[in-house]
Amino acid sequence: MTDVKFGTLEPIRYIAPDFDNTMVSYNVYGTILIEQDVDGAFKERIKSEVLSMIPIVFSEFNAREVKCLELPAMCSEMSNKLSERLREIGRKCNVNVGGVVMDDESKKIIEEKQRAKIIADNPAIAQVEQIRAMQAAGTVNRPKFCPNCGTPVGPTGKFCGNCGSPLGV
């Protein structure tokens, strides 16, 4: 019995049906459980076979339009599919996918899209966001006088010219 750990060398691309078909990517890792004792060369071979099968399994999920946010919960289905494919080429082993993790860059893109969607679905939040943006730009609720020393302040400066107090709202 041999255990071989594997992890994708490059993130695997996925077209997210739940986010306007945005391209996202995932890293996949896990273990291959081989029934017999094998040498290093065989381990490498079987590892590369599994790695080459992962994009195929991903494309199957894509064909079914599996939501990108659901992929991380599909380790066991992915394990079964990979094990099945290995058996098809005569390998006596099982794959145990330990994790399907969205790439950091993709995570940022999806978070941004989720946020945009919440705002689009909720005009009240959009209004608050707009006010915040205006406040950040210094166009509303800006003090005309320094709250600390009372010196009149201009429309754009971030700090009082007299005492240096921040003028943020």
Residues engaged in binding Zn ion (CB under 5 A): 146, 148-149, 151, 160, 162-163, 165
CA distances from 161 to 123, 149, 157, 166 (A): 38, 10, 8, 10
Residue 141 burial (10 A CB sphere; 0-12, 13-18, 19+):
exposed
C-beta closer to Zn ion: residue 149 or 169? 149
C-beta closer to Zn ion: residue 99 or 157? 157
C-beta closer to Zn ion: residue 7 or 147? 147
What does the alpha-carbon distance between residue 147 and residue 161 come to, in Å, rounded to a whole number? Answer: 12
User: Which is nearest to 134 in space by CA: 109, 88, 168, 108?
Assistant: 168
DSSP string, 26-75: EEEEEEEEESS---HHHHHHHHHHHHHHHHHHHHHHHHTT--TTTGGG-H
Least distance CB 128 / Zn ion (angstroms): 29
User: Which is nearest to 51 in space by CA: 10, 88, 15?
Assistant: 10
Least distance CB 114 / Zn ion (angstroms): 41
Least distance CB 153 / Zn ion (angstroms): 8
C-beta closer to Zn ion: residue 7 or 150? 150
C-beta closer to Zn ion: residue 23 or 149? 149
Least distance CB 165 / Zn ion (angstroms): 5
Least distance CB 148 / Zn ion (angstroms): 4
